[in-house]
A and B are shown apart, each in its own frame.
Chain A
Amino acid sequence: MFIKSALKLAAVSSLIISASVSTTAHAQWFNSVNINQFGSGNGVGAAQTGSFNHVEFWQDGFGNTSVASQDGNGNVSVIGQSGWGNDVTTDQYGDCNLSGVAQFGSHNFANATQAGDCNALAVIQMGHGNSTNTNQVGAGNVAVVVQY
């Protein structure tokens, strides 16, 4: 019994230790961020101000969180997650921004906000118990949501 508990504790500790948080911030044009994380309980965040910036995250595991915020025009954020209980939040302010979220697994959550004109966002979720919440304020905005 004690051994089992110790093993569980060790496993949980290793998970906590393996959890990491990555953050990055850029201001200018044509910046690019690409972060991949494997494991569980990871967190990644990026903020970019300017135009034509690019954010790309990939997280594989469970209980991961991605946050991307972009302020400007022509920005792109792409976030992929596989596993379960993962969470994505993206915010884009300005015109003609593009946001893409792909989540594979179950009980994942995607929250995307775009404020401005000519924005487009796409969310693809494969699995069950997934949830998408999108907000777009402005004119000529397009949202694509695919859930299987």
Chain B
Amino acid sequence: MSSNNFPFAFLALALGGLSLSALAVSQTGSTALDPQPEDQIAEEAPLCSVGTEKSGSGVILSAQVSPDETMVGTYSLAVTRSSGSNRTKIRQGGGFEAPGGETTLLSMSSFNSAEGLDAELTLKVGGKTIDCAFTDYPLDS
């Protein structure tokens, strides 16, 4: 009985092994196709941005530009803050020259709180207008 069943049992084991091997190969194949760290495109640093950071009991809002190559142009920063019934409107702007590969601070504003704070930074470089994200409220959100 067992001798008669042996070939079938062997065949079943062989088929099972083959299927496992095939599964392993397919798994290995899919892993190989996954993007590897070296294949991933590096996230580009933003050319310019407006961000806030805590400073004591308040916040500092800074506008900065980080060009790859030296950039000459003008900037315009509009900041508004609405807190309770109080209102703040700040306009800062002017010319700038930012060396390539460095982060250049364009302007700074300080507030007692970031509540109701909003900012828009615009650069004009070589006839082009560049809108920069307010990192607390990204433009693409």
Residues of A within 8 A of B (CB): 117, 123, 125, 128-148
Interface pair A147/B83, CB less than 8 Å apart: yes
A147 touches B112 (CB 8 A): yes
Which label, helix, strand, loop or mixed, suits the secondary structure of the B interface? strand
- Give the shortest distance, in Å, between B127 (CB) and chain A (any CB): 21
Contact A135 B107 (CB under 8 A): no
Q: Which residues of B contact A148 (CB under 8 A)?
A: 112
Q: Is B54 an interface residue (CB 8 A)?
A: no
A147 touching B86, Cβ below 8 Å: yes
Instruction: Tell me whether B91 and A139 are in contact (CB under 8 A).
Output: no
Which of chain A's residues have a CB closer than 8 A to the CB of B108?
142-143
Tally chain B residues at the interface, Cβ within 8 Å.
23
- When A and B form their complex, what is the total count of cross-chain residue pairs whose Cβ atoms lie within 8 Å? 76
Q: Known: A136-B91, A137-B94. Is A143-B109 also a contact (CB below 8 A)?
A: yes
Tell me the interface secondary structure of chain A in the complex.
strand
- Residue of B86, B94, B95, B96 touching A131 (CB-CB under 8 A): B86
Which of the residues B58, B86, B107 comes within 8 Å of A141, measured between beta carbons?
A: B107
Q: Does B84 lie at the interface of the complex (its beta carbon under 8 Å from any beta carbon of A)?
A: yes
Chain A: minimal CB distance from B98 (Å): 11
User: Are A139 and B94 touching (Cβ within 8 A)?
Assistant: yes
From known contacts A128-B84, A144-B110, A146-B112, infer whether A134 and B90 are also in contact, taking CB-CB under 8 Å. Answer: yes
A134/B93 in contact, CB under 8 A: no
Which B residues are in CB contact (< 8 Å) with A140?
107
Shortest CB–CB separation between residue A13 and chain B, in angstroms?
33
CB contact between B110 and one of A131, A141, A143 (< 8 Å): that residue: A143
- Is A128 a contact partner of B86 (Cβ separation < 8 A)? yes
From A133, A141, A144, B92 is in contact (CB under 8 Å) with: A141
Find B89's partner among A117, A130, A132, A146 (CB 8 Å cutoff). Answer: A132
Residues on the A chain within 8 Å of B89, using CB: 131-134
**Interchain residue pairs with CB less than 8 A apart (14):** A125-B86, A132-B88, A133-B88, A134-B91, A135-B91, A136-B91, A137-B93, A139-B95, A142-B108, A142-B110, A143-B90, A143-B107, A145-B81, A145-B110
